[in-house]
Chains A and B, each alone.
Chain A
């Protein structure tokens, strides 16, 4: 039999392999056992048995339930044997959905093991046929510290990600297509699949929900751009002042600003929030200093609150940009400035023609990732205003400074409208994905250029 062929893949291993290769598609590890890797082969086989028995006894049932999300509502049911009504334990849609997802993830994990065993068997067969050494089990384990180190080092991260990130994510994505809201709370009630109805209600122009969604989305985008660009330019100007010639004690000045960055943001934001209150120190001082006769509604009037949030975010964000930009500023070739000076350029011209284009060129990817970060920036809004001031025009809970993320949080924590929260999560994902794609296409375009000239 011909043992060497090119383009080995999932199909050719089956069609061109020997009988054991073919068998290993049904009995995992058959090819390994045949070719001398007995322990490995049996391990694969054991895993297969375990998976199949799981599916027979539990998983199949779980997957079936997933299609219906439960049929029996909790309530009083007539027990014919006893002739009385008794409390019947209903199905819990939430758990059914969760376990269904677990079954899906376990199946996916097994599929990976299955594929891996096929390729592993094929490798063993090929090595043996070519007369090369076939690793025994001990050698396989040792190879984990060397050429197969990826399995050793990535095992924990991958397991962690699958259990605590991927699985919950699938669960929440599926939830966007159910009606798991405040009126369908298990275990008392069932919820069911509703297709893309949630997206329709959010987008449709007439509903109260969409009357909340679009303004919140609008403010989220405005906030994202304002927060990103105010901090970017503020930090850049601050870094330029500190790094300019003739400023002594640069480290001292930098440390002053780094102070606000070093204080954990939840603390500084809570502190500033108490300072901005109606009887907070800002209002006290402004009245004492004679700037205003009555207290200003920093956090209680929609426009004021929005401005306050942007300004406080500026206070926190500028030092970060300042630190980041400092390094890049020093990389700008000094000759550019000297020749510009000889040509009679002033500081403003130099900034416009040299500093800014250079910075813009280098930091575009940073700005875009920052923009995405700000669109999802939970802390400033949540700790400063908590989304307030409330308005009657919005769906319950949402306030005038709420971003999509903080609204999402409120929908899960306060009003238990999980389906809406999940839908908004998906929308946020789409927005982030769009900006990431823009960033990618830009950085690809830049790579092909000659660079900053």
Chain B
């Protein structure tokens, strides 16, 4: 490169320029190539202007053409007079151009058919010019970002973020959709309403969703408290005290854990029947609490990191082990308590297999998970799809809020589980 500009890394300038020039050339290469007939982006844009009617998103084509051309011009300008601000503007324009090229990948059919230029268009009829243009747009953007020393990771994060949020956006939109039914031929609803949520909680005779939600909430709250206590007690004993059979006990727990859990559900069901607990929510709490000790690993790993000297000092001061547990170990382990509680709450909140086996057809005892699954059965999905979506939102919302709020503790617990 001929010169240096502070704040820019001009060694990538040539490659950025190649990308932009290629993008500009591709405007004149075939955009559509079908049955031997070809038409470039520019000529397509011209005939779109002449066409009557047309789709609302026809401006995508104009924008793509214009922005690519502008970006080319800016590239030339920057070649002769390179300034930080100039390149920043260039980057901005190129980013928009890239976005519109990407939109065209999804919108071409609509635009071309809307204007009557094509019928039953498929993306395989897109010509070489389009693909070169698309690739060149990303190539150019990538290297302009390199020039301005912006991390090109933003491109990947944006694309991935859209993909990751797509299903969540869909379920939110469905929950707010006024038109009922499973099959709709469009993504954005034609009318928005809160009626789905209201229906969910009002017509009790058909769908006792409010009851399901309360069932889940009650069970999950109890399990959260009881399981957390049990896990903490178990891991305290296994971590802070030494006794004969400690290793043996841990090995037994590990071996039990290697059997698939619901293999023994039938037997559990029969035992519960013997105890007279089947078909009641108590059963869920009891069974979950009974197996809670198996999840001691993470909190034990955490307790192991608390120095032994702390305990020894307390013992010299006359504290009993129970006092050490309640007054010293627990206050030191806030993050692991939150992690365990969150984990047990989540587990209970979304448990499906056991409640579904336990309650069978007794709908009034369903938990939200069982109820929602029941709603997506193919016989009911058409009637209840929007209500299912509303239910999913109502069930997921508390968890999402809890999770985002307590993310920090969760991450600490997760990395703790890796350390061993």
B321 within 8 A of A: yes
* Interface pair A271/B392, CB less than 8 Å apart: yes
* Interface pair A167/B267, CB less than 8 Å apart: yes
A288 within 8 A of B: yes
- CB interface residues, A 201-241, toward B, < 8 Å: 238, 241
B305 within 8 A of A: no
Within 8 Å CB of B281, what residues of A?
A: none
B256 within 8 A of A: yes
Complex CA distance for A99 and B294, rounded to whole angstroms: 25
- CB interface residues, B 74-93, toward A, < 8 Å: none
A25 within 8 A of B: no
* Interface pair B271/A153, CB less than 8 Å apart: no
Within 8 Å CB of A292, what residues of B?
A: 122
Complex CA distance for A254 and B160, rounded to whole angstroms: 12
B116 within 8 A of A: no
Complex CA distance for A156 and B264, rounded to whole angstroms: 20
Complex CA distance for A169 and B88, rounded to whole angstroms: 66
Contacts A149-B237, A279-B183; is A171 near B267 (CB within 8 Å)? yes
B325 within 8 A of A: yes
Complex CA distance for A382 and B357, rounded to whole angstroms: 14
Q: Give the contacting residue for A247; candidates B107, B108, B157, B323; CB below 8 A.
A: B157
B117 within 8 A of A: no
B278 within 8 A of A: no
Contacts A258-B404, A271-B392, A433-B258; is A165 near B264 (CB within 8 Å)? yes
Complex CA distance for A244 and B108, rounded to whole angstroms: 35
* Interface pair B236/A165, CB less than 8 Å apart: no
Q: Give the contacting residue for A256; candidates B161, B265, B267, B321; CB below 8 A.
A: B161
CB distance from B312 to the nearest CB of A (A): 14
* Interface pair B381/A274, CB less than 8 Å apart: yes
Within 8 Å CB of A379, what residues of B?
A: 352
Binary contact readout B171-191 vs A (1 if CB under 8 angstroms, 0 otherwise): 100000000001111110000
* Interface pair A425/B260, CB less than 8 Å apart: yes
* Smallest CB gap from B400: residue in A: A262
| Chain B binding surface SS class | helix
B344 within 8 A of A: no
* Interface pair B121/A323, CB less than 8 Å apart: no
Complex CA distance for A218 and B67, rounded to whole angstroms: 52
CB distance from A420 to the nearest CB of B (A): 11
Q: Give the contacting residue for B268; candidates A164, A255, A257, A418; CB below 8 A.
A: A164
Binary contact readout B158-175 vs A (1 if CB under 8 angstroms, 0 otherwise): 001101110110110000
Residue of B149, B268, B349 with most chain A CB atoms under a 10 A cut-off: B268
Binary contact readout B291-334 vs A (1 if CB under 8 angstroms, 0 otherwise): 11110000000000000000000000000111101000000000
Within 8 Å CB of A137, what residues of B?
A: none
B62 within 8 A of A: no
Q: Give the contacting residue for A273; candidates B253, B322, B376; CB below 8 A.
A: B376
Within 8 Å CB of B294, what residues of A?
A: 161, 165
Contacts A150-B241, A164-B271, A428-B259; is A260 near B291 (CB within 8 Å)? no
Within 8 Å CB of B151, what residues of A?
A: 244-247
* Smallest CB gap from B320: residue in A: A146
CB distance from B290 to the nearest CB of A (A): 3
Complex CA distance for A436 and B254, rounded to whole angstroms: 10
Which of A10-18, A302-310, A360-368 forms part of the interface with chain B? A360-368
Contacts A98-B271, A271-B392, A274-B385; is A149 near B321 (CB within 8 Å)? yes
Which of B13-21, B127-135, B204-212, B408-416 forms part of the interface with chain A? B408-416
Complex CA distance for A259 and B393, rounded to whole angstroms: 12
* Interface pair B256/A412, CB less than 8 Å apart: no
CB distance from A383 to the nearest CB of B (A): 8
A265 within 8 A of B: yes
Within 8 Å CB of A408, what residues of B?
A: 260, 262-263
CB distance from B393 to the nearest CB of A (A): 9
Contacts A246-B151, A261-B403, A263-B400; is A285 near B187 (CB within 8 Å)? yes
Bin the interface of chain A by size: 35 or more
B59 within 8 A of A: no
CB distance from B2 to the nearest CB of A (A): 24
Within 8 Å CB of B49, what residues of A?
A: none
* Interface pair A167/B161, CB less than 8 Å apart: no
Which of A68-76, A125-133, A324-332 forms part of the interface with chain B? A324-332
Within 8 Å CB of A372, what residues of B?
A: 258
Contacts A146-B321, A291-B122; is A262 near B258 (CB within 8 Å)? no
* Interface pair A264/B399, CB less than 8 Å apart: yes
Binary contact readout A142-177 vs B (1 if CB under 8 angstroms, 0 otherwise): 000111011011101111110111111101100000
* Smallest CB gap from A164: residue in B: B290
Within 8 Å CB of B325, what residues of A?
A: 149, 153
Complex CA distance for A274 and B109, rounded to whole angstroms: 25
A290 within 8 A of B: yes
Within 8 Å CB of A54, what residues of B?
A: none
A34 within 8 A of B: no
Complex CA distance for A149 and B119, rounded to whole angstroms: 79
* Interface pair A425/B396, CB less than 8 Å apart: no
* Interface pair B167/A268, CB less than 8 Å apart: yes
Complex CA distance for A293 and B236, rounded to whole angstroms: 61
Contacts A256-B161, A288-B185; is A157 near B234 (CB within 8 Å)? yes
A432 within 8 A of B: yes
Q: Give the contacting residue for B372; candidates A241, A266, A288; CB below 8 A.
A: A266
A296 within 8 A of B: no
* Smallest CB gap from A284: residue in B: B185
CB distance from A448 to the nearest CB of B (A): 15
Contacts A163-B271, A412-B265; is A157 near B230 (CB within 8 Å)? yes
* Interface pair B322/A146, CB less than 8 Å apart: yes
* Interface pair B322/A145, CB less than 8 Å apart: yes
* Smallest CB gap from A331: residue in B: B415
Within 8 Å CB of B234, what residues of A?
A: 153-154, 157
Residue of B182, B263, B292 with most chain A CB atoms under a 10 A cut-off: B263
CB distance from B163 to the nearest CB of A (A): 8
Complex CA distance for A166 and B122, rounded to whole angstroms: 60
Complex CA distance for A261 and B151, rounded to whole angstroms: 26
18 contacts between A and B (CB under 8 A): A101-B267, A150-B243, A160-B289, A164-B290, A241-B156, A267-B395, A271-B389, A274-B182, A281-B187, A285-B187, A289-B109, A293-B120, A315-B167, A320-B414, A323-B407, A324-B414, A328-B418, A362-B418
Given A160-B293, A258-B404, A259-B165: 15 more A-B contacts, CB < 8 Å:
A150-B237, A150-B241, A161-B294, A164-B286, A165-B291, A167-B267, A242-B153, A246-B153, A247-B151, A256-B161, A262-B402, A268-B168, A270-B373, A293-B120, A433-B258
- Which 3 A-B pairs rank lowest in CB-CB distance, beginning with the nearest? A160-B290, A290-B109, A168-B264
Task: Give residues in A with beta carbon < 8 Å to B.
Answer: 94-95, 98, 101, 145-147, 149-150, 152-154, 156-161, 163-169, 171-172, 238, 241-242, 244-247, 253-268, 270-275, 277, 279, 281, 284-285, 288-293, 315, 319-320, 323-324, 326-328, 362-363, 365-366, 372, 376, 378-379, 382-383, 405, 408-409, 412-413, 418, 421-422, 425-426, 428-429, 432-433, 436, 443
